[in-house]
Amino acid sequence: MRAISFVCTSFLFIANLALATPTMPINGAEYTTLATPQPVTSIGKKIEVIEFFMYHCPACNTLEPALLDWVKKQGANVEFKRIHVPHNGLNDAEAHLFLTLEAMKLEDTMHSKVLNTWHVEHHQLLRDEDNLEWAVKNGLDKEKFLGFYNSFSVISKLHNLKNVMANYHVDSTPTIVVDGRYLTSMASVDESNKDLEHVALDKATLQVVDALVAQARASK
């Protein structure tokens, strides 16, 4: 399997200027279609939407408010979840922390606090010791946290992330996959719309996601 280099997209937001967004995303440009669709967990008319991200990624942090607002507006129409890209291989501490919080059912309440630690406090969580110190500082029971952190389930998911990345062909963050088939990213939207001036990439990317959700729903 070829080595995958994960790239964290960086970009500049320019306030108070007109927003130009791709209204008709093109396969092979703003998005790609996976050759092998991946299984989805959504039921009925819900469309699965996955954000592949990394805690340390500035673009992921900047996208977060707009993404949360988008998810809230979707209501019961989509099933949203996150997958942390293992930037540092099998024992990536960031992905390990995310999987632990997910297993503890604390992802929703603690996700923003982790991002704040990285991007506001500028405190990097790069080791197991950093994660434990962060957990205790943020009010989590030390023994309970370690129990989940070292559990067979969490470790297995952590080591399986390399297979997940290969199956979804994710090579940048943030990347969003819709219905296990359609993959878009801030990088691809930016790259495919160089003629557009002052593009706010968060809104443009989510507009592409809207189109892909509608496309997926129409095919069901």
Residues 93 and 164 in one domain: yes
> From CA 200, how far away is CA 189, in angstroms rounded?
10
State the pLDDT at residue 125. Answer: 98
Average pLDDT, the chain: 88
Token readout for 23 is 């209204």
User: Which of 75, 99, 98 is CA-nearest to residue 153?
Assistant: 99
State the pLDDT at residue 22. Answer: 66
User: Residue 178: which CATH number?
Assistant: 3.40.30.10
Token readout for 205 is 């990317």
> From CA 181, how far away is CA 164, in angstroms rounded?
14
Residues 165 and 175 in one domain: no
At residue 131, does pLDDT exceed 70?
A: yes
Mean predicted confidence (pLDDT) in 125-144: 98
Phi and psi torsions of 206, nearest 5°: -70, -25
Confidence of residue 4 (pLDDT cuts 50, 70, 90): very low
> From CA 200, how far away is CA 17, in angstroms rounded?
9
Residues 133 and 197 in one domain: no
Give the pairing type, strands 78-84 and 47-53. Answer: parallel
At residue 7, does pLDDT exceed 90?
A: no
Residues 121 and 102 in one domain: yes
State the pLDDT at residue 19. Answer: 39
At residue 190, does pLDDT exceed 90?
A: no
Considering its fold, how many domains does the chain have in total? 2
Confidence of residue 78 (pLDDT cuts 50, 70, 90): very high
- The secondary structure of the chain in percent helix, strand, coil, rounded to multiples of 5, reads 50, 15, 40
Residues 143 and 120 in one domain: yes
Residues 12 and 73 in one domain: yes
State the pLDDT at residue 27. Answer: 92
Give the pairing type, strands 175-178 and 47-53. Answer: antiparallel
pLDDT tens figures, 84-120: 999 998 899 999 999 999 999 999 999 999 999 999 9
Confidence of residue 10 (pLDDT cuts 50, 70, 90): very low
State the pLDDT at residue 101. Answer: 98
Domain that holds residue 137: 88-169
Residues 78 and 178 in one domain: yes
User: Which of 183, 197, 188 is CA-nearest to residue 37?
Assistant: 183
Q: Between vectors from CA 12 to CA 6 and to CA 17, what angle results, nearest 5°? A: 145
pLDDT tens figures, 195-210: 654 457 888 899 999 9
pTM of the complete model? 0.87
What is the DSSP track for 123-177? ----SHHHHHHHHHHTT--HHHHHHHHT-HHHHHHHHHHHHHHHHHT--EESEEE
> From CA 68, how far away is CA 148, in angstroms rounded?
26
